[in-house]
Chains A and B, each alone.
Chain A
Amino acid sequence: MSSTTVDSHADEHTQSGGVSEFISKYVFSKDHKIIGLQFLFSTLLWFLIGGLLALGIRVQLAWPWEGMPVIGPMLFSGEGGQISPEFYTTLFTMHATVMIFFVIIPILAGAFGNYLIPLMIGADDMAFPTLNMLSYWFMWPAFGLIGMSFFFPPYGAGGGWTSYPPLSAVWEAAPGSHWPQTLWLLGVTCVGISSMLGSVNYMTTIIQMRAPGMTMFRLPMTIWAMFITAILQAFALPVLTAAGFMQLLDRMIGTGFFVPEGLVVNNSVAASGGGQPLLWQHLFWFYSHPAVYIMILPAMGMVSDIISCFARKPLFGYKPMVYSISGIAGLGFIVWGHHMFVSGMNPVLGMTFMVATMMIALPSAVKVFNWLGTIWGGRLYYTTPMLFSLSFVSMFIIGGLSGIFMAATPVDIFIHDTYFIVAHFHYVLFTGTAMAVFGAIYFWFPKMFGRMMNDQLGKVHFFLTFVFMNGTFYLMHILGARGFPRRLADPYDYETFSNLQPMNQFMTICAIGMVASQVIFAGNFIYSMFWGPTVGRNPWRANGLEWTAPSPPGHGNFDFQPIVYRGPYEYGSPEVDADFYPQTQPPPDGVEQTGKSDH
Chain B
Amino acid sequence: MAEHDSGHDDHGHIQLEYQPALPINNGKVILWLFLSTEIMFFAGLIGTYIVLRFGAPGGTWPGPHDVHVVEFLGAFNTFVLICSSLSIVLAMEAARSNKPSLAKGWFTLTFGLACVFLGIKAYEYKSKFDHGIYPQKPHSLIYDKADIYYVADVRTQLNAQVTKWQTEEAELATAPNTKTQLEEEQQTANTRLDVLKGTSARSEEEDGELLQLKERLADIKVELRDLASKTKSLEAGSADRKVRLPTAERILNDFVTWTELTAAKTDDWPKRQAAMEILAYQIYPLHRDAHAVHEYLRWEKKDRDAETVSLAAERAELKATFPSIDEAIDAVDTSNTSEDGAPLPPPANLSPDELVAFERVLAINARMDQITGREDALEDFFAVEYNDADHSFMHTGHDGHAGKWHGLNDNHDWLKLPMKIPSGNMWASTYFLLTGFHALHVVVGLIVFACIMPLKLDSSRANMIENTGLYWHFVDLVWIFLFPLLYLF
Contact = CB atoms under 8 A, between A and B. Distances in A.
B138 A5 contact: no
Interface stretch (B30-38, B80-88, B195-203, B475-483): B30-38
Contact of A254 (B2, B56, B136): B136
Contact of B426 (A243, A269, A275, A585): A275
B149 A246 contact: no
Interface stretch (A137-145, A365-373, A392-400, A547-555): A547-555
A458 B55 CA distance: 58
Nearest to A128: B30
A406 B325 CA distance: 85
Interface string B1-18: 111111111111110111
A272 B26 contact: no
A212 B19 contact: yes
Contact of B33 (A200, A237, A269, A582): A200
A3 B26 CA distance: 23
Interface string A222-260: 000000000000111111011101100100111111000
Interface in A268-314: 268-276, 279, 283, 286
A207 B26 CA distance: 9
B450 interface: no
A257 B432 CA distance: 12
Interface in A1-55: 3, 5, 7-8
B137 A207 contact: no
A7 B135 contact: no
| Interface residues of chain A: helix, strand, loop or mixed (majority) | loop
Contacts of B437: 245
Interface stretch (B44-52, B301-309, B356-364, B389-397): B44-52
B321 to A, nearest CB: 51
Given A128-B30, A207-B22, A208-B21, A556 B13 contact: yes
Interface stretch (B139-147, B219-227, B238-246, B334-342): B139-147
Nearest to A558: B16
Contact of B19 (A200, A210, A255, A283): A210
- Which among B4, B149, B433 has the greatest number of chain A C-beta atoms within 10 A? B433
Given A203-B33, A559-B14, A211 B19 contact: yes
Contacts of A8: 7
A115 to B, nearest CB: 16
Interface in B40-64: 40-45, 48, 51-52, 55-56
A7 B10 CA distance: 11
Given A208-B26, A257-B48, A271-B139, A5 B8 contact: yes
A122 interface: yes
A560 interface: yes
Contacts of A554: 6, 9, 11, 13
B465 to A, nearest CB: 18
A201 interface: yes
Nearest to B7: A7
Contact of A559 (B6, B136, B425): B6
Contact of B12 (A5, A237, A249, A562): A5
A561 B138 contact: no
Given A234-B36, A272-B140, A274-B144, A561 B14 contact: yes
B18 A272 contact: no
B320 interface: no
Nearest to A599: B21
A556 to B, nearest CB: 3
A570 interface: no
B433 A246 contact: yes
Contacts of A234: 33, 36-37, 40
A555 B136 contact: no
Interface stretch (A320-328, A418-426, A531-539): A531-539
Contacts of B3: 536-538
Given A207-B20, A274-B425, A200 B30 contact: yes
B429 interface: yes
Nearest to A215: B19
B7 to A, nearest CB: 6
A246 B429 CA distance: 9
B423 interface: yes
A236 to B, nearest CB: 7
B29 interface: yes
Contact of B16 (A261, A286, A562): A562
Top-7 shortest CB links A-B: A550-B6, A242-B44, A556-B13, A238-B41, A255-B429, A536-B3, A254-B137
Given A238-B41, A249-B433, A537-B2, 17 more contacts: A123-B16, A208-B21, A209-B26, A239-B44, A246-B48, A246-B433, A257-B429, A268-B138, A270-B149, A273-B425, A274-B144, A279-B52, A283-B48, A536-B5, A538-B3, A550-B5, A550-B9
